Amino acid sequence: MFPRIVTTKRQEKTYRYLAVVESYRENGKIKQRQIGNLGNIDQYSEAEILSVINKLREFLHDNSTGTIHDITKHGDKYFGIPYVMNFFWQQFGLSEFISNALKDRNIEVDVDLCAKLLVINRLMAPSSKLSASYWAKDVYLPELEDVEPPEVHQLYRAMDYLMEIKDDLERFLYHRLTDLFSLKLTLVFYDLTSSYFEGTHCSLAKHGYSRDHRPDRLQINIGLMVTPEGLPIAHQVFEGNTPDKMTVVDSLQTLKQRFQVQECVFVGDRGMITMENLAAIQEAGYKYILGFHKRGRDMSDYLLANYQNLEEYQTVYDGDEDQLMYREVSLPETKDQGESEEGLLQLKERLQKEEASRRGRKLTAKGVMLKVAEILKAKHTERFFEVNYDGAKELIYRLNQAVIDKESLRDGKFLIKTNAGLPAVEVIQGYKNLMMVENAFREIKNLVQLRPIYHYNDRRVRAHVLICVLAYLFEQWLAVLYRRHIDGETMKAKAISDPQERDQALAKLYSQRKTGRRILRELERINATDQTFVDKRIYSIPVLDKVQTKLLNILQVPLPPKVIVRN
């Protein structure tokens, strides 16, 4: 028995009737006959038809299909980011790796689930481990169905186990990433940053050179190596008073022994240059591209003073189509930027205002000089001024013209030392790309929120940094996949013969570029609704908009099902 629309035509007008039809067998043949007629269907509204259906269900005691009145909503869960991260977690083979790495241990904690949750938490709602344990109740992951999320002590234990396999984990991820991208590592970018502490009991925490401008706080130093596309492959946590140059050897050992990289170019900033480090880099069989000091070195003074004629320089365009001028000499080279004349004028105005504000007020000469020193140091311009205070009313200062003239030689220039044997434009681009490490540190500190660090146990501090670096790895992975797609489309657009059409296509592609953080924001808008429908507990996934659908297609992540039936 089934419904059927029967049409009848009268005086050029067509009428539609809803009939109930049944099939029957007669003399071995299947026939159909009409057993009921519900009238002209066009005369009924959709609500009236649904009402008839519901009445029939009540008559038949049938509850199998359900209506909107049979839906009970229990709340929403975060779905988009956990869904995508879980996909890549499995694609990388992390669950299998963690299981195999700890298989000989008697472990009562689900290390894989805890690690995954902590990484997702850093990407979505960076918080303390205690807060993360509560936050996990609102996250959709298949492993969390019908079980309680890990408690805070389980998260801590999982962090301890992760640190036991940290080196193996980094090596595994390095080889997995190179396999997925079919690439050979030819450039490695390395830099160091610091991060200060809230507490005082961590033995790693020391006073040192603070890149956070918080010399009053204890800190740790973090060395990070990234690929040319900005993917972090290894990191090391050092005591807070460890100089940059003392961390290079550990990094070289990581490349040579753990990753078995036989040939590559080591790219670092000027703090890495020592005779010992240059010897260690060459002993490892690597080339180098290193920034060279522009100040305080006889060699830099010689280069800047003797190679001022820009007509003798060559012009190149880097990947961003920025114009650069360079000159190669058979000597070392470097980076930095001097103070501009405009900056000096602004500072002079600050000093004049400070002088005016002090008139008529009783301050000691020491107090005034300390304030002036504070202003100059904040601007990194103390060497440009000679300042005196007569102890009465007048603040006397003058520009140190000799220093300014010398500094003008450095303005807008950087020096690089290399033995890589690469074309100059590749050396310049390679060194400029060192900023990717700085971007990584910025993301880890600000968006993944490395700080505040409340742990005091050395192992937990290192594990916290590991979780943050893993979170950044996934964020950058999304950015790399998306960027590669846009770059491919850009190459096609550049091949368009019509100039106007080509420019329009390129402008459209430029507007579509997204950072990893922007991609995460798009994914964060996708939630799953937990509900009961006809005695079944399900998650309902909303229809994705065009942007979300295109994003998942570019990332090659399968579109989620519309409905997920809970166990």
Q: Are residues 41 and 88 part of one domain?
A: no
Q: Are residues 25 and 44 part of one domain?
A: yes
Rounded distance between C-alpha atoms, residue 357 and residue 351, angstroms: 10
Rounded distance between C-alpha atoms, residue 353 and residue 432, angstroms: 38
Q: Are residues 284 and 184 part of one domain?
A: yes
Residue 347 domain-assigned (yes or no): yes
Structure tokens at 175: 């080889």
Q: Are residues 358 and 280 part of one domain?
A: no
Q: Are residues 282 and 174 part of one domain?
A: yes
Q: Are residues 175 and 131 part of one domain?
A: no
- Which residues, including other chains, have CB under 8 Å from residue 411's CB and lie 6 or more apart? 337, 338, 339, 340
Q: Are residues 89 and 183 part of one domain?
A: no
- pLDDT score recorded for residue 40: 75
For the chain, the distance separating the N- and C-terminal CA atoms, rounded to the nearest angstrom, is 34
CATH number of 286's domain: 3.30.420
Q: Are residues 84 and 64 part of one domain?
A: no
Flag whether the pTM goes above 0.75: no
Q: Are residues 419 and 277 part of one domain?
A: yes
Residue 316 domain-assigned (yes or no): no
CA 318, chain centre distance (Å) = 24
Residue indicated by tokens 């010992």: 276
Residue 132 domain-assigned (yes or no): yes
Point out the domain boundary residue: 367, 391, 408.
Answer: 408
Pairing of strands 13-26, 29-40: antiparallel
Q: Torsions phi, psi of 158, nearest 5?
A: -65, -40
- pLDDT score recorded for residue 161: 95
Q: Are residues 276 and 209 part of one domain?
A: yes
Point out the domain boundary residue: 70, 89, 106.
Answer: 70
Residue 20 domain-assigned (yes or no): yes
Q: Torsions phi, psi of 432, nearest 5?
A: -60, -35
Domains: count for the chain: 4
Provide the residue range defining the domain that includes 63.
2-70
Rounded distance between C-alpha atoms, residue 535 and residue 71, angstroms: 9
Rounded distance between C-alpha atoms, residue 39 and residue 49, angstroms: 12
Residue 357 domain-assigned (yes or no): yes
**Closest alpha carbon to 551 in 530, 531, 521:** 521
What are the pLDDT digits (tens) for 247-262? 888 888 888 888 888 8
Sign of CA dihedral 487, 491, 492, 497: positive
Residue 327 domain-assigned (yes or no): no
Residue 548 domain-assigned (yes or no): no
Q: Are residues 182 and 130 part of one domain?
A: no
Q: Are residues 240 and 382 part of one domain?
A: no
- pLDDT score recorded for residue 51: 75
β-bridge partners, 291: 416
What are the pLDDT digits (tens) for 313-328? 777 765 555 567 777 7
- pLDDT score recorded for residue 337: 36
pLDDT tens digits, the chain, 567 residues: what are they?
677 787 877 777 787 877 777 887 777 788 777 776 766 777 777 777 777 777 666 666 555 555 656 667 788 899 999 999 999 999 999 999 999 999 988 888 999 999 999 999 999 988 888 999 999 999 999 999 878 999 999 999 999 999 999 999 999 999 888 887 766 778 888 888 888 877 667 788 788 878 777 788 888 888 888 888 888 888 988 888 888 888 888 888 888 888 888 888 888 887 777 778 888 888 888 888 887 766 555 666 667 777 777 777 777 765 555 567 777 776 543 343 333 444 555 555 665 666 566 555 555 555 655 666 666 555 555 555 655 655 555 555 565 655 555 555 555 567 788 888 888 778 877 777 777 777 777 777 765 667 777 677 888 889 999 999 999 999 999 999 999 999 999 999 999 999 999 999 999 998 888 989 999 999 999 999 888 876 777 888 888 999 999 999 999 999 998 888 876
CB 396 within 8 A of CB 389: yes
Point out the domain boundary residue: 392, 408, 424.
Answer: 408
Residue 34 domain-assigned (yes or no): yes
Neighbouring CB atoms inside 10 A of 102's CB total 17
